[in-house]
């Protein structure tokens, strides 16, 4: 149990030490409310979920939350850049509350560790789920199921973009969409590259993952919330086909094809007209012609209504207009 371990190691003199105070200051810089700052002695670790270069992820017991995970980050490996990125991620994530965004619970610290606490999503990632479907022999997802998944993601993204200024995710892809236990609920995760939209100056170029990155971000041009709409279209293609975009190309090759040649992943034979229409609009080469997530949500709702009428039987449909 983490709580017992901390009670043994965090003595009074250690809590007044330089490392403890440094870690306390880092958490304080994240602008959290009182309910989001936890006493490390009241956090009880469960089994290890996974580990990386400088962090381990555990199941944990946390007062007020039934399902939680704790990311225990080795504070000694947090350099200036890593501290900036972690502070940025948690400062933004802490302000978000939406059913289709993984819930941020809070932070804690010891003299050696920074603890990030959030919702546990036992269904794994959407990328993992897609891979299982592909290996089972499925070639293309049904339209009703696809529209349901995309509606959830678009809803979460519309919420992010509703902030003033908008919150840009900048790394939207299936690996960053997590599933609840029953796999019916999807939630957006990983806000490590998120930031508020900057209108007065250019934001960092080539931010995100090349296969999902919009042309303007690749080309080092000024960009805005529309870069997330492009990534959403590629994510939608993933959900439709159960495949990774541009799987025969190296990531940099995929980026070149998108930015310089306007290449897009090929739509499968039999792709629903409505889905094809939406993807072509959302991954348009000209960012100004991409629809907002609010408009995408409206179009998806219209399509869902056409697919599931009162009788319960899908009916033929043309592409819904994505308009105000």
Q: For 119-157, write each residue's pLDDT tens digit.
A: 999 999 999 999 999 999 888 889 999 999 999 999 999
Rounded to the nearest angstrom, the gap between the alpha carbon of residue 100 and the centroid of all alpha carbons in its chain is: 10
Alpha-carbon gap, residue 110 to 15, rounded angstroms: 8
Q: Is 13 annotated as catalytic?
A: no
Contact 160, 169 (CB under 8 A): yes
The catalytic residue among 13, 39, 79, 171 is 171
| Range list for CATH 3.30.200.20 in the chain | 12-119
For position 56, what pLDDT does the model report? 95
Architecture of the domain delimited by 12-119:
2-Layer Sandwich (3.30)
Alpha-carbon gap, residue 25 to 288, rounded angstroms: 42
> pLDDT tens across 85-98, in order?
999 999 999 999 99
Please list the residues that pair with 62 across neighbouring strands: 65
Looking at every residue in the chain, the average pLDDT score rounds to 90
The model's pTM = 0.90
pLDDT tens for each residue of the chain, 324 residues long: 555 555 445 555 566 689 999 999 999 999 999 999 999 998 999 999 998 888 999 999 998 888 899 999 999 999 999 999 999 999 999 999 999 999 999 999 999 999 999 999 999 999 999 999 999 988 888 999 999 999 999 999 999 999 999 999 999 999 999 999 887 899 999 999 999 998 767 788 888 899 999 999 999 999 999 999 999 999 999 999 999 999 999 999 999 999 999 999 999 999 999 999 999 999 999 999 999 999 999 999 999 999 876 444 444 444 444 544
For position 312, what pLDDT does the model report? 45
| Range list for CATH 1.10.510.10 in the chain | 126-307
Rg over alpha carbons for the chain, rounded to the nearest Å, is 21
CATH topology of domain 126-307: Transferase(Phosphotransferase); domain 1 (1.10.510)
Contact 248, 266 (CB under 8 A): no
Alpha-carbon gap, residue 120 to 66, rounded angstroms: 9
């Amino acid at each position: 149990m983490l709580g017992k371990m901390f009670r043994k190691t965090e003595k009074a003199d250690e809590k007044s030490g330089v490392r403890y105070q440094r870690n306390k200051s880092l958490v304080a810089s994240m602008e959290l409310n009182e309910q989001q700052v936890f006493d490390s002695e009241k956090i009880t670790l469960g089994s290890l979920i996974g580990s990386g270069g400088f962090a381990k992820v555990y199941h944990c017991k946390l007062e007020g939350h039934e399902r939680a995970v704790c990311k225990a980050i080795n504070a000694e490996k947090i350099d200036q850049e890593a501290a900036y990125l972690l502070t940025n991620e948690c400062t933004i994530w802490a302000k978000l509350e939406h059913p289709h965004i993984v819930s941020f619970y809070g932070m804690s610290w010891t003299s050696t560790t920074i603890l990030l606490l959030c919702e546990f999503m036992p269904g794994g990632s959407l990328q993992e789920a897609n891979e299982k479907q592909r290996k089972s022999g499925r070639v293309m997802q049904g339209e009703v199921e696809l529209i349901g998944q995309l509606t959830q993601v678009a809803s979460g993204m519309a919420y992010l973009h509703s902030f003033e200024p908008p919150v840009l995710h900048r790394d939207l892809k299936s690996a960053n969409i997590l599933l609840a236990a029953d796999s019916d609920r999807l939630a957006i995760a990983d806000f490590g590259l998120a930031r508020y939209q900057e209108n007065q100056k250019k934001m960092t170029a080539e931010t995100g993952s090349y296969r999902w990155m919009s042309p303007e971000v690749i080309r080092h041009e000024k960009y805005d919330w529309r870069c997330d709409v492009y990534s959403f279209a590629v994510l939608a293609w993933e959900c439709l086909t159960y495949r990774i975009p541009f799987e025969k190309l190296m990531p940099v090759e995929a980026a070149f094809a998108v930015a310089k040649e306007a290449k897009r992943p090929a739509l499968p034979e039999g792709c629903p007209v409505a889905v094809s229409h939406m993807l072509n609009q959302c991954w348009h080469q000209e960012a100004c012609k991409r629809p907002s997530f609010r408009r995408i949500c409206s179009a998806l709702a219209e399509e869902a209504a056409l697919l599931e009428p009162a009788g319960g039987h899908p009916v033929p449909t043309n592409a819904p207009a994505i308009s105000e």
